[in-house]
A and B are shown apart, each in its own frame.
Chain A
Amino acid sequence: MATTTTAPGRVGVRMKVNGVDYAAEVEPRLLLVSFLRDNLGLTGTHIGCDTSQCGACVIHLDGQPVKSCTLFAVQADGAELTTIEGIAKNGEYDAVQMGFWEMHGLQCGYCTPGMIMTANAFLDRNPNPTEAEIRHALEGNLCRCTGYQNIVKAVQYAAKQRAGGAMEAGSGTDLDFEHKDVIEHAPEDLQDWGDQLAGQEER
């Protein structure tokens, strides 16, 4: 039998996470997401629903996208894992991360790590997807903010970038204001803020 029970009720696990080898003794019921976040301090992987539905916790296990809230850490014994912390290489964002940046693919950012992990695994499998295929691939990742439109564009951007072409920065966003518009209207103090709010209807 392969199991080596090292302390009563505890099981030894080894795994490679983002290229680093780890060994630990864990309770069998410890969820992989908790192992990553609490034991290894890799808090980029989020817990959204904890009921296997939202995809905020998606990581790669031996190259496949998996919901780390629906795996026990012991099941990942011997596996190679990549989390969102392992996606950027040498301080450079990868194509999917750039897509989210350029196409305004996030608002609060809570779903973003899972989205990026799912999108990356999907583009490995289907490098030249249609919009419908992208939407289908992201069915297990829920976003409460964006309405998905710009997430789809972010993945399209990444597919193009990965294929060597580059989509024009900003061309995917639906926002027709520039940052400086916002800054011009930024209130100077509370009084100014109140005045601006009061005058808003007229503007």
Chain B
Amino acid sequence: MFPNQFEYHRPSSVQAAAGLLAADPDAKLLAGGHSLIPAMKLRLASPSSLVDLGGVDGLTGIDASGPIKIGAMTTYAAIRDSRELKSALPILAEAADNVGDPAVQARGTIGGALAHSDPAADYTAIFLALDGSVEVTGTNGARTIAADDLFVDLFTTALAPDEIITSVSFPALDGAGTAYEKFRHPASGYAVVGVAVKIATGSDGKVESARVAVTGATSKATRATAAEEALQGKTLDDAAIDAAAAVAGNGLEINGDHFASEEYRRHLVSVLTGRALRKAAQT
């Protein structure tokens, strides 16, 4: 079905795009369009104007020479195929290959994925676990938002209406172990539940920092702090992993729907936390 009518803008700079957003409170940014266009076709969204970021130069590209920096309009396909990322941050490239299907990967962008705060998205949890940050620009200038502060609620972020994510950054791994495990929805590919982990251990083999982030289960991607606390100072062996997995859902407000009950999702949070930690222990 066709969406409602809208005015179309294709600005050539981020500043111009921010200006257009500020001028129309019902305007929406258009990136890859793979969340927005399906919603517009179902008329779940009917923005009065679309501000297409496709004409803005300098929003794509991957720099993995130190801390990793990825332009907001970089597609999953570019991330999936990036040799640099395959060695610097393999979790990101591997996860891209499991987002939707190759046609979704060809259009969907990392900036759009984070800005959308879809409760079943993959990159939200990975971004949280990796302790990333986004650089944003609005009519009032630029600022950086840390991963822990970006997701506010279902489809809601800390971005102001005229703010645009321009790039996404991740600290270099520095030997930390990472993994993302998801239970794919068999039809859409979205995460019924997904768990991303980043574990740094000291020279004595004890966990120095643990970040465990869950998607699919809660209204927004959320850190599983009970699991993180259980891992602190432990050697990452089977006993420590099982103990952390057992408490991973504690303190989380987990949703149920017609695909998966709350109880089932809570179970998946534990199972996938265990799997992700085992995988991370080997990297």
Beta-carbon nearest neighbor of A63 in chain B: B106
Question: Contacts A27-B5, A74-B52; is A2 near B102 (CB within 8 Å)?
Answer: no
In the docked arrangement, what's the CA distance between A3 and B52, Å? 10
Q: Top 3 nearest A-B pairs by Cβ distance?
A: A140-B101, A28-B8, A64-B106
Contact with A along B24-62 (1 / 0, CB 8 A): 000000100110011001100000001010110000000
* A132 interfacial contact with B, CB 8 Å: no
Q: How far is the CB of B49 from chain A (nearest CB, A)?
A: 9
Which residue from B37, B97, B187 sits with its C-beta under 8 Å from A70? Answer: B37
In the docked arrangement, what's the CA distance between A137 and B1, Å? 27
Of the candidate stretches A80-88, A117-125, A187-195, the one touching chain B is: A117-125
Residues of A in contact (CB 8 Å), total 36
* B253 interfacial contact with A, CB 8 Å: no
Residues of B in contact (CB 8 Å), total 37
Question: Contacts A2-B55, A29-B2, A139-B189; is A70 near B101 (CB within 8 Å)?
Answer: no
**What is the interface of chain B, defined by CB distance below 8 A to chain A?**
1-12, 16, 30, 33-34, 37-38, 41-42, 50, 52, 54-55, 77, 81, 97, 100-104, 106-107, 187-189
- Chain B residues whose C-beta falls within 8 Å of the C-beta of A77 in the assembled complex: 10
- Chain A residues whose C-beta falls within 8 Å of the C-beta of B37 in the assembled complex: 52, 70-72
Beta-carbon nearest neighbor of B40 in chain A: A29
- Chain A residues whose C-beta falls within 8 Å of the C-beta of B54 in the assembled complex: 75
Q: How far is the CB of B95 from chain A (nearest CB, A)?
A: 14
Q: How far is the CB of B97 from chain A (nearest CB, A)?
A: 8
Q: In chain A between 41 and 98, which residues have their CB closer than 8 angstroms to a CB of chain B? A: 50-53, 55, 58, 61, 64-67, 70-72, 74-75, 77
* A167 interfacial contact with B, CB 8 Å: no
Question: Contacts A27-B5, A75-B54; is A140 near B33 (CB within 8 Å)?
Answer: no
